[in-house]
Amino acid sequence: MKWLPKLLGLILVAILQWQFVAMLFAPAHEPSFRRKERSVARREYRANPSDETRAAFDLEVSQLNKHETIVAVATFGSFLIVDWVAVFLYGLRKKQAA
C-alpha cells in the first residue's frame, strides 16, 4: 500500500492542474451554467422590458444562484473529504513507521 499515497497525490495534482487550465480559458465574467438561456432572457428583457421578460430573466438568475450554491457546497464537501483522507493516510503512515 506504499503506492496509495503517491497515487492520491498524483490525482490531486492532476485535478488542481485541470482546474487551473480551465480557469485560464473560462470567461471570468459569465458562468457557463445556462449561459445561452440567460443571455437570451437578458436580450429579450432589454429589447422589450415587461413583467414577463423580467420574470424570465429573474428566473434564470435565481437558477444560476442555486447552481452556484450547490457547486460551492459540493466543492467544500470535497475538500473536507480529501482533507480527511490525507489525515487518515498520514496517521496510517505514522502508525506503520512506529
Beta strands in the chain, from DSSP E residues, in sequence order: none
pTM: 0.61
DSSP 62: H
* CA angle 75–9–96, rounded 5-degree value: 115
The cell for 61 is: 438568475
Per-residue pLDDT 10s for the chain (98 aa) are 778 888 888 888 888 887 777 777 766 667 778 989 999 999 999 999 999 999 999 999 999 999 989 988 988 888 888 888 888 888 888 788 76
Q: How far apart are CA 1 and CA 84, in angstroms?
A: 18
Q: Where are the domains of the chain?
A: 3-97
DSSP assignment string, 67-93: HHHHHHHHHHHHHHHHHHHHHHHHHHH
